[in-house]
Amino acid sequence: SDLDALRAGRRHTSGKECLPMSLTLGALLRRVQADPDPERRFIFLMPRPQGPCRFGAYNTLNQIVLERLGLRDHVRIWAPKEYEYFDTFNPSATFLIICGFTAADWLLEALHEVRPVSRDRAAVEEVHRRYERELLLLIEATTRRRPSIAAVTWESATGRLFGIRDLLDRAAREFAKHRTDRKLPTVLLAGEIFVRLDPFSNGHLIRELEQRGLRVRLAPFHEWVDYVDHHGCKLGHGIALADRFSRLLHRRLTDVTWNAIKPALTNEKLGSVVEAIHASDEYLPCDLEGEAVLTLGTPLHEWRKGRIDGLISVGPLECMPNKIAEAQLHHVRQREGLLSLTLSLNGEPVDPTVLDNFAFEVHGRFAARQKCGAAAVTAATRHAPRTAGCPAGTVANQPK
């Protein structure tokens, strides 16, 4: 998305809608109206979440705007519920789509780990662009062949994944050539899924933080797919034998793709959805569902493992799940020492002073932790007394 998409969307909305609504509507209208073929038909995918998020309910507003502009016959809005994302796909297509999501996330993971320590940032970005494009073409070509269930099972069992593993192997080798041993503080970027994954929506936050000497880990897109799958199973959705087999293939492809890209990385894989849910249990009621659980739980798990030095949580202005997480993050900082910054965004640039101050504190804590030789934060040590000069949330190594 970009500023033109935001302006196009706001011309047809009241201003009360969230940032993702205005951006997606504007991008859709620009794409349809700019197409040289007036007879072309489009399908607009807009999943509907349950819970307090209004974004999924805006598909009705999209239909009203399209009808008002005379575009209703050109665009079909497809708005599956969160437990029905793949119900209309055959299992082979579902497998390939999830493969694509996951592999794309790992390519981004490699980009964000290697670029800030590389001597040639442009070359690293070119590696990412090239393999991302190759991945898209590979998924499209494989889907057109309509592989059978037997073929999907075989590709999963052998770990070939229709060539995706080989693609990630090659990408990992190229990324690894650009990685240096430079040590940087690591910040996790979490929050509402659209805003955290769309660079324009979050003010190109990852680049801004990299310019301030930080390495950023981005909570991946497939985290939400995993959460919906886990929660649906908990509620009794997808417990048939075929669904269980599909879930087994899903876990297999996640492991295979991660192991393929791992040579380019020094980080451990982010904790699972189950680990994130368990981490958030101390702060959120167990019956609360949705993104607030992941926004709080994933950073908590990583902090307790000693894998991150801070958190930035982003979301649309007035986003309820993000506000719930923000309220609890204050308690997390007091109890466990996790430094966090919550940004509520509406398309305006992020105040650079806010980022400067956050980066300054992260660097200060990182330097103090390195100086103290602090132990990793764990559930057992987070309440231990601090050694003078050590940042909150760490304990100095003690003699054995």
Q: Which pLDDT tens digit goes with each residue over 123-180?
A: 999 999 999 999 999 999 999 999 998 999 999 999 999 999 999 999 999 999 999 9
Q: CA 327 to CA 10: how far, in whole Å?
A: 29
Identity (one letter) of the amino acid at 298? T
- What residues have CB less than 8 Å from 364, skipping those under 6 apart? 391
Local confidence band at 289 (pLDDT 50, 70, 90 cut-offs): confident
Instruction: List beta partners, residue 348.
Output: none
Among residues 10, 39, 9, which one has the least CA distance to residue 25? 9
Share of the chain above pLDDT 70, in %: 86
For position 47, what pLDDT does the model report? 78
The predicted pLDDT at position 386 comes to: 38
Angstrom distance (rounded) from CA 363 to CA 121 = 22
Which of 78-82, 95-99, 267-271, 373-377 is least confident? 373-377
Residue of 138, 18, 35, 149 lying closest to 92 (CA atoms):
149
What is the rounded CA–CA span in Å between residue 365 and residue 383?
A: 17
* pLDDT one-digit tens code per residue, 70-118: 998 999 988 887 666 777 778 888 899 999 999 999 999 999 999 999 9
Give the span between the Cα atoms of 299 and 279, in whole angstroms. 9
How many whole angstroms separate alpha carbon 120 and alpha carbon 117?
Answer: 9
* Tokens found for residue 21: 């609504």
pTM of the shown model: 0.89
